[in-house]
Amino acid sequence: MFELDPRNRKPIYEQLMEKIKELILAEVLTVDEKLPSVRMLSKELTINPNTIQKAYRELEREGYLYSANRKGYFVAPIELHADKKVNELKTQFQHLLREAVYLGVTKEQIAQWFDEIEKGEEKSD
Amino acid sequence: MIEAKSVTKKFHNETAVRNINITVKRGSIYGLLGSNGAGKTTLLKMMAGIYRPETGTISIEDVPVFENVFIKKKVCYIPDTLYFFPQNTIAQMAEYYQNIYSEWDASRFNTLKRVFQIDTDRKIHKLSKGMQRQVAFWLALSCMPSVLILDEPIDGLDPVMRQKIKNVLFQDVADREMTVIISSHNLREIEDICDHIGIMHQGELIVEKELDDLKADTHKIQVAFKSELQEKHIVDQLEVVHQEKRGSVSVLIVKGEESNIKRIVRSEKPFVFDILPLTLEEMFIYEMGEVGYEIENILL
């Protein structure tokens, strides 16, 4: 269910967190759905179980998952992670924006892009 | 849990291990790295209860290990040079282990046959180096140990077998909270297996950390500025362990928090700025460089 890239140099628990977040945001994993157990995922992906435990714990801390005592981890209700989604987008957006500013794109142009999107005509320039 | 408290071991005038403190938590997989002759094997042999430390104590589950039969029944050690009785077959060797290790699980031994797929009636000495290593794992994992000590275990195993053995190890860690300690020079492999890392040099432990923390703490950055002065300015503010210049782009190895580094570098408006993750191999080389064990390219 999760494919990790062995050539990616990011720590495995971070890769795992990103994958799970993606699946939650894309609603492939739905609210209250149970995630595979640490044991099973470790066996399936051949990853240190402590690494998976860590990824799950971090996701719980960030509000994407909740744990029911000893029953495992579940996807948290939408309201809990809606803000997170916006925050996530913000960082991605800022990254692109920084590049755009370097290239000399003005505030007006960006505002214009915004209007275009709102009107539903997605033009690239 | 394995705990070493101010442990020193000498051989004649040679101090192999110098005042080491180390804690390996239950259910964790600990990678022991180090330069050649750093004292890794000596430390592992003390953990396995084979050597008696000169000073300090090594305990497993709060009981000193040396000459302690009760604890040693729960500990399996696979040395870097394997030993099997001459002329013994796998089945005979298994029988011997069964008499020694009270936790021996015969059904586990049979299940693992599917992993290793070697005929148990074959004489171990006639097997190849890699196959002998497989037998060592097979026997050790059938003993159902609480602690597994592995000295250079990956040597000689093919990639498929490595993956299979890793998988079995992880299952034991997940199911029974087995504690594993591994020494190796294959850092790529260690990076995939371990959650904690210790680096030894000349008998001392110079780094002990959670692998992810070690990764979060050291960064490789690529930067280019308009002027040398700007670069000097940021270098002064950062904890730079290594610096290299390739044309107008500088590669820096910096310690500290990522967000902090970003803030400092961006304040000088660089042309180019990338943070690249470090591999364990690079981290090892830089950590060793800090204690004076550096790569020097000697001209011949």
Indicate yes or no: CB of B170 within 8 angstroms of CB of A42: yes
Q: Where are the domains of chain A?
A: 12-76, 79-119
> What structural domains does chain B harbor?
2-202 (3.40.50.300), 217-290 (3.30.70.120)
**What would the CATH number be for the domain defined by A12-76?**
1.10.10.10
* Distance, CA of B18 to CA of B53 (rounded, Å): 10
Q: Which residue of A has its CA nearest to B281?
A: A9
B205-228 pLDDT per residue, tens? 988 989 888 878 888 899 988 888
B226-242 pLDDT per residue, tens? 888 888 888 888 888 88
Q: From the centroid of its chain, how far is CA B196?
A: 8
The first and second tokens of residue B146, run together, are 């609480």
Q: Averaged over B53-58, what is the pLDDT?
A: 93
Q: Is B174 on the interface with A (CB under 8 A)?
A: yes
Indicate yes or no: CB of A50 within 8 angstroms of CB of B195: yes
Q: Is B29 on the interface with A (CB under 8 A)?
A: yes
Which of A46, A54, A103 should one mutate to test binding to chain B, selecting the residue with the greatest count of B CBs within 10 A?
Answer: A46
Q: Which residue of A has its CA nearest to B270?
A: A102
B134-170 pLDDT per residue, tens? 999 999 999 999 999 999 998 889 999 999 999 999 9
How far apart are the CA of A11 and the nearest CA of chain B, in angstroms?
Answer: 7
A30-71 pLDDT per residue, tens? 889 999 999 999 999 999 999 999 999 999 988 889 998 778
Q: Residue B94: its pLDDT value, please?
A: 96
